[in-house]
Homo-oligomer: A and B are copies of this chain.
């Protein structure tokens, strides 16, 4: 989605709020390029929980609910077993819960493991502009921290909103060039969100917050090459752990650069080929990046969602069995081929990086859930066979939440579908009911229906909880 379109589509927020204002109106606006980190730190340590608008608080609850559901189910994956098996012999005191499991680890390891769980199904939230998965780094860090450092629900929500704002603004400042270099932006920008949110809860001074951002800057995690292996889900987990570590070190005056973002050899210059600092500073406290968060109806990267949405619609409309289909033609946004061009996936995990598999599975089974990205599905003979008849082409006129699909039937008929906004996108969002249904489908088999209901209510009501850690306690 290009920037202009995005702004026009974001609803509720007028364009004028994004326009530069005079320094007198908004002191963080006029940006000499040597104080970007400090201005951002100033905002994070001084923004008040009371100033967060109700709609923003509500989106934070939706973000939290979606994160908890994904993390509960993700905790049953092999990657999480392996990580706990490898690292628990080195864990500190049993300070924080691992969602969906019995183990308790120190808060740093809990942040890592919950972050892995949250992302391992590729079912978590996605920022509509920069494709960061915002909750993974931020919530994984601060929920663990809240079990060690008493935190009210209101402070928790404020930290969550600020953390998402920081990681997404920094992400916006280098998107898409940073992504083109080969970085996985959820890990590389996410670490700032985790550091800012954790640091806010720890009560860092402005100076210490600068250091925390510097310590975050020096620990980016995540190469795109890791997609398709367990290491992809390691990225948000490690970003959470690194950001929390950064905040803890800064709280004890472990010094760092105060220009970690903007210096010549600072983060934006080292990890990207272009940057725009206005994205970081303009409208702080006025527009909130969490309002652009989206939640997946399908268990894979968001770039494949328009295709799955369109293929399910075509399946329901054309009522064809797969053997009748001669060819499936997809015209897609360039990022689809950059990220999901595996032609012959061998595992469910690899299937998440195959637009060919996603289209075929949606046409054969009419869904794009966890079951369609399982080892079973990628080996299903009908899906494999139809997959070989899916052809793709890049169309730069097609936006990231769009696709143009043509089904060519063996009898000569053709069906076409243009998906303008995939379900789950900012323009066609999941409703609260959709999110509850998704939560329940994820939590089934992990928590009883009663406990699911109680946990959903805690998430909706998080801003009023005396102790945010109640959510972690209810989810283990």
Residues of A within 8 A of B (CB): 79, 82-83, 85-87, 89-93, 95, 106-108, 181-184, 187, 211, 214-215, 217-226, 228-231, 234-235, 238, 245, 248-249, 251-257, 259-260, 263-267, 269-270
- Contact between chains at B90 and A249 (CB < 8 Å): no
- Contact between chains at A249 and B217 (CB < 8 Å): no
Closest chain B CB from A105 CB (angstroms): 9
Distance between Cα atoms of A228 and B267 in the complex (Å): 16
Distance between Cα atoms of A91 and B105 in the complex (Å): 10
Closest chain B CB from A140 CB (angstroms): 15
- Contact between chains at B86 and A223 (CB < 8 Å): no
Q: List the B side residues contacting A187 at CB < 8 Å.
A: 218
Q: Known contacts A219-B221, A264-B182; is A108 also within 8 Å of B90 by CB? A: yes
- Contact between chains at A256 and B214 (CB < 8 Å): no
- Contact between chains at A231 and B248 (CB < 8 Å): no
Distance between Cα atoms of A93 and B214 in the complex (Å): 29
Closest chain B CB from A352 CB (angstroms): 14
Closest to A224 in B: B265
Closest chain B CB from A3 CB (angstroms): 24
26 contacts between A and B (CB under 8 A): A82-B252, A82-B254, A83-B252, A83-B254, A86-B248, A86-B254, A90-B92, A90-B93, A90-B106, A90-B107, A91-B106, A183-B270, A184-B218, A214-B225, A214-B229, A214-B231, A218-B231, A219-B219, A220-B220, A223-B265, A224-B265, A225-B257, A226-B256, A226-B260, A228-B257, A231-B256
- Contact between chains at B215 and A270 (CB < 8 Å): no
The listed residue (B82, B92, B224) touching A92 by CB distance below 8 A is B92
- Contact between chains at A90 and B82 (CB < 8 Å): no
Distance between Cα atoms of A215 and B107 in the complex (Å): 22
Q: List the B side residues contacting A107 at CB < 8 Å.
A: 90
- Contact between chains at B270 and A255 (CB < 8 Å): no
Q: Known contacts A229-B256, A231-B218; is A92 also within 8 Å of B95 by CB? A: no
